[in-house]
């Protein structure tokens, strides 16, 4: 299965989270989304959102420059 890449580097909070949510909505259930972000708030915001959603945080990596998240799209979520 291919992985869709979302480049949210350089975007300030709350844009990395908002762009992640938008990207997940465009994917089919089970699809993978890899997100790269540089905003420190995304290290907290994206995992918190995923914990309250049907999506799965498969992997999380970070270094001194960026945060990376690999997310598996869950079933439909209600807004």
Beta-bridge partner residues of 4: 33
Q: Is residue 49 annotated as a catalytic residue, yes or no?
A: no
Q: Which of 30, 39, 32 is nearest to 59 (CA)?
A: 32
Instruction: For residue 52, give every residue at least 6 positions away whose Cβ sits within 8 Å of its Cβ, in sequence order, or none.
Output: none
Task: Tell me which of 13, 18, 27, 58 is the catalytic residue.
Answer: 13
List active site positions.
13
């Amino acid at each position: 299965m291919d992985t869709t890449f979302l480049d949210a580097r350089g975007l300030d909070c709350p844009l990395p989270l908002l762009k992640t949510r938008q990207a997940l909505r465009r994917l089919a259930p089970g699809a993978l989304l890899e997100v790269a972000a540089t905003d420190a708030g995304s290290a907290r915001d994206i995992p918190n959102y995923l914990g309250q959603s049907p999506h799965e945080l498969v992997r999380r990596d970070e270094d001194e420059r960026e945060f990376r998240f690999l997310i598996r799209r869950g079933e439909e979520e209600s807004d």
